[in-house]
Structure formats: C-alpha cells, structure tokens
Amino acid sequence: MYRALGERYPDAHCELDFADPFQLLVATVLSAQTTDVRVNGVTPALFARYPDATALAAADRADLETLIQPTGFFRAKSESLLRLGAALVERFDGEVPGRLQDLVTLPGVGRKTANVVLGDAFGVPGVTVDTHLGRLVRRFGWTEEEDPVKVEHAVGALFPRREWTTLSHTLIFHGRRTCHARRPACGACPVARQCPAYGAGETDPTKATALVRTGPRA
C-alpha cells in the first residue's frame, strides 16, 4: 500500500513554507486548527518582523496578534509564540534543539510538532501523527490504536526508520487529497483493493475522481 501511495504522490513533502528550523517550528505551531495555505499566507510578514527567537520573545503582543489573526485562535497562539521564543532564548541560546526530548519541553510543542521539525528541518526520521495519518492507518487496518503516541509507535514498527518522514508526508497527502474524513474518494484510490475500509466513500470512479483535491487542506 505504501509503495502504491508513493507512486501516486512522488512529491509528497511538508506543505508549510520555511527556511530554517525556527521558521518551521513557528509555522507548525500556527498550523493548529487551520490550513497550511493560511499559515503560509501570514508567515512571510511574521518572519520579516520577527526573524529569530530573540525577536519573537520581545514581540509586541498586539502586533503579533494582528499578524497571525488569519490563522484563528490568534490570542492563544500569540501567547504560545511569545513563551516559545522566551524558552528558546533562555534555555537553548535562541536555537531550536534537534532532539525530541528537548523539543517537547517547549511551550506549545508536542510530539507531532516535534516530529515535523525533526524530520523536515534536521533530517531525523519521525512519524507525524496528525488527524489524517491517524485516520488512514486505522482505515488501512495498520493499527486500531487511537492514542497518537501509540499510533506513532505502532506505525513506526511496520516500516524502516529511514522511511518514517516520507511515509508521514505520503499518508498526509493522501488524507488531504483522496481519503477524506467524511467522504473518501474510494473509486479513485490507488490502494482500494487492499483497503479494508473500501466502500466507506464514493466507489464510482467518475464521481470519486471529482472528489479528489489537488492542493493542501486542513
């Protein structure tokens, strides 16, 4: 199934725009409860104003809220970013740490965010369990676990460690574009024959193809 999905999405990648670990960390924190497209729309101005952890820690709260308002929950996210910047400055000399055990101690950073940063900014393989990956691996029958940490370990045990980051991107691409939560496009799915959940969505090939999306979605 992974091989077939890899052929469908050979360019699967992180859809957040970033230039360094700090930018990816901030963008991932902002991506909660919104789309990558919306985050990518605000980060150029955000990073122009606050290019590093030191600048972010000293940011004007009202200005920060205005900059990130389109991402939703902007007051809570502003608080998280201010605390995140301060923690990076106080505990890591303003640099984003490259270890999971350090990243998860930062404000607003859980294992999902940490694995995104490790995999895409540091080249350290990780399974990123977002809503898409969790939904797909349960539909595929790869695990019955619901807890994200247990899902991470269960899926990681099925594949070589070197594949974890690419695997995550591939499944997230499929979840965003074809295997939707409410109406999966089963008739246009490359793993339909292997999928235990086939039939949960539209099976007619023409109708299913019309459901396939071409860009990033939350």
Q: What's the CATH code of the domain at 92?
A: 1.10.340.30
Hey, what amino acid is at 62?
A
Report pLDDT for 215. Answer: 67
Among 36, 77, 120, 130, which one carries the catalytic annotation?
Answer: 130
Total number of domains constituting the chain = 2
pLDDT in tens, 42-55: 999 999 999 999 99
Query: What's this model's pTM, rounded to 2 decimal places?
Result: 0.92
Among 112, 120, 147, 204, which one carries the catalytic annotation?
Answer: 112
Checking 177-183 for CB contacts under 8 A at 24+ apart, the result is 177/9, 177/212, 177/213, 177/214, 177/217, 178/8, 178/211, 178/212, 178/213, 179/132, 179/135, 179/136, 179/139, 180/211, 181/131, 181/135, 183/211
Task: Give percent of the chain above pLDDT 70.
Answer: 98
The residue from 106, 121, 136 where one domain ends is 121
Q: What angle do CA 44, 108, 94 make, to 5 degrees?
A: 65
How many residues belong to the chain?
Answer: 218
* Segments in the chain below pLDDT 70: 215-218
pLDDT in tens, 156-196: 999 999 999 999 999 999 999 999 999 999 999 999 999 99
The residue from 104, 121, 138 where one domain ends is 121
Check whether residue 32 and residue 77 sit in a common domain: yes
Check whether residue 160 and residue 76 sit in a common domain: no
Active site residue 130: yes
Query: 203 is in which domain, residue-wise?
Result: 127-211
Report pLDDT for 214. Answer: 82
Active site residue 36: no
Report pLDDT for 53. Answer: 98
